Chain A
Amino acid sequence: MTNENLIHYIHGIADNSMILGQRISELCGHGPNLETDIALTNIALDLIGQTRSYYQYVAELSPKDITEDDVAFLRKEREYKNVLLVEQPNTDFAYVIVRQYFFDVFHYLLLKELEKSKNVNFQAIAKKSLKEVSYHKRFSGDWLKRLGDGTEESKQKTQQAVNDLWVFTDELFHMTKDDQVVADAGFGVDNSTLKSEYYTMVKSLLEECKLLIPEVEYFQKGGKKGIHSEHMGYILSDMQFMQRTYPDMKW
């Protein structure tokens, strides 16, 4: 296992948190009510905080003299390795919650395994993050129940979000060559082993809220290879605006 394998592996994990954190932070000041606004902003903050720990580690491993900021603000779209799920837009509150829940369950299962990594940095970040992600999962799961088992309209909108976002769930379990190398070395997690528990958990909650589980012919993929949906460019142009416009600016 080379440092390059390791760096690519970290991007695969950290870019999810970065992009989802950025996505949710768009809602700061625009949440449906004060409590959910604050909750979502806090979740965004947790995710971006976790990302910082991973990116600092990337900067340490990199042969170049870079910092966490370079990793976040100076990479191009193709160099981002997040899954397509996390870049999907904040269409409405139902989408925000369903996307969050679909990701939180995966994130929770991933960190529970990453905690056992042979790599001390991964252990430390995973232990810390797991505590936070347990809250995220509880928040999104509770709201999914309320929306899915709520009014006629909330149910219909939530079902729509489930139908539209379901096709992005399978990619969470894809393994790149780098992922495999790092997992085989006992540093990383083999995501494919999380799949059955994931679908059991998600399906049981959907059934509890009387939502239908979509049946799809094929799943969308590409993000993990750097091939993103049309939404990704807009996220990065917003997020990287300052560094691109005023290179090397400092806060």
Chain B
Amino acid sequence: MTKDVHIDTELFSILKSVPDPEIPVLSIIDLGVVRSAYLEGKNAFVEITPTYSGCPAMDVIGDDIKTELKKNGYIPNVKLILSPAWTTDWMTDEGKQALKDYGIAPPMDATSDKEALLGNKRVIPCPQCESKNTRLVSQFGSTACKAMFKCEDCEETFDYFKCLI
């Protein structure tokens, strides 16, 4: 989440309680997909942006936001915006930690990401045992936003949340 994102305090905790349907440990606030949220009377206006164009979770996220807002007595107005395009930089530190605890390696910086995904260097630490002795299995993991890695020490395969900037 970047500093220029404005979220009204009344709405913050409500949105914070909406999880990413595919990675339920991550709230949509921590994922950085909420780009603005403000109130006009009982009307709540929320702008969200997709992580990937074809992300099937967006429709669900939109619906979940509406449900939560209604539950809290607001009239929901959810809008999907494409610009500026989402980047993994908008993910909060809290979100990255939650990913790691969940067993998904959080996104690295752009340079390390490239090295890792091109198979040049072993830089993505295993979220289970911290070993850097890991290798890329596939550039696409269980969803478009992830790549699949294997730890050569503890032999676990794990998802890596790809860096997108």
Q: Which residues of A contact B52 (CB under 8 A)?
A: 45-46, 49, 132
Q: Cβ of A48 < 8 Å from any Cβ of B?
A: yes
User: For B139, what are the chain A residues with a Cβ–Cβ distance below 8 Å?
Assistant: 39, 135, 138-139, 142
Contact (Cβ within 8 A) B54 A46: yes
A130-147 near B? 1/0 per residue, CB < 8 Å: 011001001100100000
The answer for the CA separation of A25 and B138 in the assembled complex, in Å, is 18
Q: Which of A43-66 contact B (CB under 8 A)?
A: 43, 45-50, 52-53
Closest to B117 in A: A138
Task: Identify A46's interface contact among B53, B142, B148, CB under 8 A.
Answer: B53
A239 is an interface residue with CB less than 8 A from chain B = no
Contact between A38 and B85, CB atoms less than 8 A apart:
no
Give Cα A118–Cα B89 distance, bound, in whole angstroms. Answer: 27
**Which of chain A's residues have a CB closer than 8 A to the CB of B53?**
46, 49-50, 52-53, 125, 128-129, 132
Cβ distance A41 to chain B, nearest Cβ, rounded Å:
8
A120 contacts B140, C-beta separation under 8 Å: no
A35 on the B face (CB < 8 A): yes
Chain B 127-157 interface mask (CB, 8 Å, partner A; 1/0): 0000000000111111110001000000000
Chain B residues positioned under 8 Å from A139 (CB to CB): 139-140
Candidates A45, A53, A127, A129; contact of B56 at CB < 8 Å: A45
Check if A38 sits within 8 Å of B117, measured CB to CB: no
- What are the residues of chain B within 8 A of A156 when measuring CB–CB? none
Q: Is the CB of A49 within 8 A of B141?
A: no
Q: How many B residues face the partner with a CB closer than 8 A?
A: 24
Quick check: is B107 within 8 A (CB to CB) of the other chain? Answer: no
Given contacts A123-B83, A125-B82, contact A39 B50 (CB under 8 A): no
| A124 interface hit (Cβ, 8 Å) | yes
**B14: which A residues are within 8 A, CB to CB?**
none
Q: A50-B53, A129-B53, A131-B164 are in contact. Are A124 and B141 (CB under 8 A)?
A: no
B5 is an interface residue with CB less than 8 A from chain A: no
Q: Is B84 an interface residue (CB 8 A)?
A: yes
**Considering only CB atoms, which chain B residue lies closest to A49 in the complex?**
B54
Contacts of B25 in A (CB 8 A): none
CB atoms of B83 and A127 under 8 A apart: yes
Query: Shortest distance in angstroms between B140's beta carbon and chain A's nearest beta carbon?
Result: 4
- Closest-CB distance, A31 to chain B (whole angstroms): 11
> Does B55 have its Cβ within 8 Å of any Cβ on chain A?
yes
Q: CB-CB contacts of B42-64 with A at 8 A, as 1s and 0s? A: 00000000101111100000000
Mask, A20-44, CB within 8 Å of B = 1, is: 0000000000000001101100110
Shortest CB–CB separation between residue A160 and chain B, in angstroms?
26
Docked Cα-Cα span, A157 to B60, in Å, equals 42
Interface centre among B53, B55, B137, by most A CB within 10 Å?
B53
Q: In the complex the two chains form, what is the Cα distance from A52 to B137 in whole Å?
A: 30
In the bound complex, residues from chain B placing their C-beta under 8 Å from that of A38 are 138, 140-142
Interface string of A110-128 (1 = CB under 8 A from B): 0000000000100111011
Determine the chain B residues whose CB is within 8 A of the CB of A53 once the complex forms.
53, 82
Would you mind naming 5 contact pairs between A and B with Cβ atoms under 8 Å apart? A45-B56, A46-B52, A124-B82, A127-B84, A128-B50
Chain B residues with CB under 8 Å of chain A are 50, 52-56, 82-86, 117-118, 137-144, 148, 162, 164
Residue numbers of A with Cβ under 8 A of B are 35-36, 38-39, 42-43, 45-50, 52-53, 120, 123-125, 127-129, 131-132, 135, 138-139, 142
Would you list the 10 A-B pairs with minimal beta carbon distance, nearest first? A49-B54, A49-B53, A124-B83, A35-B138, A45-B54, A39-B140, A124-B82, A42-B144, A128-B85, A42-B140
